[in-house]
Structure 1
Amino acid sequence: MALNREPATRWAWIEIDQGALRRNTRAFKNLLGPRQRLCCVVKADAYGHGAVECAKIMYATGADMFAVATVREGVALREGGIKAPILLLSEPPIEAADTLLAHQIMPSIYTAEFALAYGERAVSAGVVGKYHMAIETGMNRIGVHHTEVVEFRRSVEFHRGIACDGVFTHFATADEPDGWDYKLQCRRFEEAVTAMQEARFPCGIVHCDNTPASILDPSTHFDMIRAGIGLYGLQPAERTAPVFPLDPVMSVRARVTRVTHPAIGEGVGYGFTYRVPRARVQICTLPVGYADGLSRTLSNRMDVLFRGSRVQQVGNICMDQFMVAITETSKRQMPEAEIGDAMTIIGRDGDEQITADEHARLRGTINYEVVCDFGLRLERVYR
Structure 2
Amino acid sequence: MRNSTCPDTRWAWIEIDQAALRRNTRAFKSRLGRGTQLMCVVKADAYGHGAVPCARVMRGAGADQFAVATVEEGIELREAGIEEPILILSEPPMECVATLVNYDLMPSIYNEDFALAYGECAASMDRVGRYHLAVDTGMNRIGLLPKEVLEFRRAIDFHRGLECAGTFTHFATADVLEGWDFDLQWKRFTDTITALEQAGLNPGLVHCDNTPATILHPETHFDMCRVGVGLYGMHPSEVTVPRLDLEPVMSVRARVTRTAFPPVGEGVSYGYVYRVPKQNIQIATIPIGYADGLSRNLSGKMEVLVGGMRCRQVGRICMDQCMFAVDVNGARSYRPAHPVSCGDLVTIMGEQDGDCITADDIAALRDTINYEVTCNFGMRLEKVYV
- TM-score, normalised to structure 2's length? 0.97
Aligned partner (choices 352, 377, 380) of residue 377 of structure 1: 380
Say if 2:234 and 2:246, in contact at 8 Å, map to a contact too.
yes
- Cα displacement string for residues 15-51 of structure 1 (whole angstroms, at most 9, x for unaligned residues): 0001110110000000111211000000000000000
Structure 1 letter corresponding to 2:332: K
- Counterpart code for 1:131: Y
Return the alpha-carbon distance in structure 2 between the equivalents of residues 32 and 350 of structure 1.
36
Distance 1:210 1:177 in 2: 15
Q: Tell me, what secondary structure is at the counterpart of 2:242?
A: coil
Partner residue, 2:183: 183
Structure 1 residues 330, 182: CA separation in 2 closer, same or farther (over 3 Å shift)? closer
How far apart are 1:249 and its partner, in Å?
Answer: 0.2
**Matches of 2:40 and 2:375, distance apart in 1:** 16
- After superposition, where does 1:253-272 map in structure 2 within 5 Å? 253-272=253-272
Give the structure 2 partner of residue 134 of structure 1: 134
Cα offset, 1:6, TM superposition: 2.0
Residue of structure 1 in register with 2:278 after alignment: 278
What is aligned with 1:62? 62
Residue 163 of structure 2 aligns to a residue whose secondary structure is strand
Pairwise CA distance, 1:177: 3.8
Question: Does the CA contact (< 8 Å) of 1:177 and 1:183 recur in 2?
Answer: no
Tell me which residue corresponds to 2:301.
301
2:19 and 2:122 mapped to 1: Cα distance? 41
Structure 2 counterpart of 1:340? 343
Describe how 1:329-368 pairs up with structure 2 within 5 A.
329=330, 331-332=332-333, 333-368=336-371
> 1:330 Cα deviation (Å)?
5.3
Match of 1:239 in 2: 239
* Counterpart residue type for residue 270 of structure 1: Y
- 1:41-120 to structure 2, matched below 5 A, reads 41-120=41-120
Question: Which segment drifts farther, 153-162 or 208-217?
Answer: 153-162
Gaps of 5+ in 2: none
SS of the residue 2:356 aligns to: strand
| SS of residue paired to 1:242 | helix
CA–CA separation in structure 1 for the residues paired with 2:5 and 2:62: 27
Q: What is the distance in 2 between the residues matched to 1:310 and 1:50?
A: 29
- Quote the offset at 1:97 in angstroms: 0.6
Displacement of 1:126 in angstroms is 1.3
CA contact (8 A) 1:177 1:217 kept: no
Alignment of 1:182-221 (within 5 A): 182-221=182-221
- How far residue 132 of structure 1 moved from its aligned partner, in angstroms, is 0.3
CA distance in 2, matches of 1:259, 1:5: 21
Identity of aligned residues (%): 60
Q: Normalized against structure 1, the TM-score is what? A: 0.98
Superimposed CA distance per residue, residues 338-359 of structure 1 (whole angstroms, 9 cap, x where no aligned partner): 1111100000012210000011
> C-alpha deviations, 1:260-287, integer Å up to 9, x for none?
1100000000000100001111100000
Aligned residue in 2 for 1:251 = 251
Listed one character per residue, the Cα deviations across residues 305-342 of structure 1 (whole Å, up to 9, x for unaligned) are 01222100000000000000001215242121111111
SS in 1 for 2:323: strand
Offset at 1:147?
A: 1.3
User: RMSD of the TM alignment (CA)?
Assistant: 1.1
- Give the residue type in structure 2 aligned to 1:160: R
Q: Does the 8 Å contact 2:135/2:169 carry over to 1?
A: yes
Question: Which secondary structure state, in structure 2, belongs to the residue aligned with residue 7 of structure 1?
Answer: coil
What letter is aligned with 2:133?
M
CA distance in structure 2 between the aligned counterparts of 1:247 and 1:330, rounded to whole angstroms: 31
Structure 2 CA distance, aligned partners of 1:377 and 1:48? 9
Q: Which residue does 1:27 correspond to in 2? A: 27
Aligned residues, how many? 381
Question: For the Cα contact (< 8 Å) 2:300–2:312, is it kept in 1?
Answer: yes
SS at match of 1:115: helix
Q: Secondary structure at the match of 2:277?
A: coil
CA offsets per residue over residues 209-246 of structure 1, 9 Å max, x none?
00000000000000000000000000001110011110
Give secondary structure in 1 for the equivalent of 2:46.
Answer: helix
Letter in 2 for 1:6: C
For residues 130 and 331 of structure 2, the distance between their equivalents in structure 1, rounded to whole angstroms, comes to 68
Distance 1:176 1:373, change over 3 A: same
Where does structure 1 lack aligned partners over 5 or more consecutive residues?
none
Distance 1:101 1:330 in 2: 63
Cα-to-partner distance string for 1:81-122 (whole Å, 9 max, x where unaligned): 111110000000001111111111100000101000100111
Q: 2: distance between equivalents of 1:127 and 1:293?
A: 42
Please give the alpha-carbon distance, in whole angstroms, between the structure 2 residues aligned to 1:6 and 1:88: 34
